[in-house]
Amino acid sequence: MYDLPSKFSQDIADPNGAPMISPCDVALNQNANVAYVIDMWSRAAFKFEKLTVSVDKNEIKDFDYSLEQNYPNPFNPNTMIRFTLPSAAYVKLVVTDILGNEIQTIVNEYLPAGKHTKSFNGENLASGIYIYSISADNFRMSKKMLLMK
């Protein structure tokens, strides 16, 4: 018999499990892989099903290039910039002012595939709109961010 998921399970607590310390009544149908459980105060009944989960390889998608909106935005003075690389690449992530003057190079290195997060500190900058741009292989993208002091 399997342990029923519960918020109070001793081995592995399940925050989405049944909110009960101990069941009062349990009805099992092993052929249907179903258990019905009544809580100790008979206020609720829960249905648990034992299911098999599988993953079809054709539905798994590879990462693609992406540059997310910085967070928080507006920011003062720190913000996080997230981007994704589908394969290892030489990456350059640069912040410029609205006129195109380079303010800071955040990344200028070879990075592995996956999701990356870099921080930017605008402590010594004036309030205003700034542009952050990424280039990796043939991918180029820019986004705006707002520094408010």
pLDDT per residue over 4-57, tens digit each? Answer: 555 555 555 555 555 555 556 667 776 767 777 776 655 666 777 777 776 666
The Cα–Cα gap between 32 and 41 comes to: 26
Q: Kindly state whether residue 74 falls inside one of the protein's structural domains.
A: yes
Token reading at 4: 């029923």
| Per-residue confidence band for 2, with pLDDT thresholds at 50, 70 and 90 | very low
Judge if 74 and 126 occupy the same domain: yes
The Cα–Cα gap between 2 and 7 comes to: 16
The Cα–Cα gap between 20 and 100 comes to: 60
Q: Which residues lie below 8 Å from residue 105, measured CB to CB, with a gap of 6+?
A: 92, 93, 94, 95
Judge if 52 and 70 occupy the same domain: no
Considering its fold, how many domains does the chain have in total?
Answer: 2
Q: Kindly state whether residue 21 falls inside one of the protein's structural domains.
A: yes
Enclosing domain of residue 9: 1-56
Q: Kindly state whether residue 2 falls inside one of the protein's structural domains.
A: yes
CATH code (residue 78) = 2.60.40.1930
What integer is the mean pLDDT of 87-112? 96
Can you give the pLDDT at residue 104? 96
Q: Kindly state whether residue 61 falls inside one of the protein's structural domains.
A: no
Judge if 31 and 85 occupy the same domain: no
| Per-residue confidence band for 111, with pLDDT thresholds at 50, 70 and 90 | very high
Q: Kindly state whether residue 43 falls inside one of the protein's structural domains.
A: yes
Q: Kindly state whether residue 136 falls inside one of the protein's structural domains.
A: yes
Judge if 43 and 101 occupy the same domain: no
Judge if 41 and 95 occupy the same domain: no
Q: Are 102 and 122 in contact (CB under 8 A)?
A: no
Can you give the pLDDT at residue 22? 59
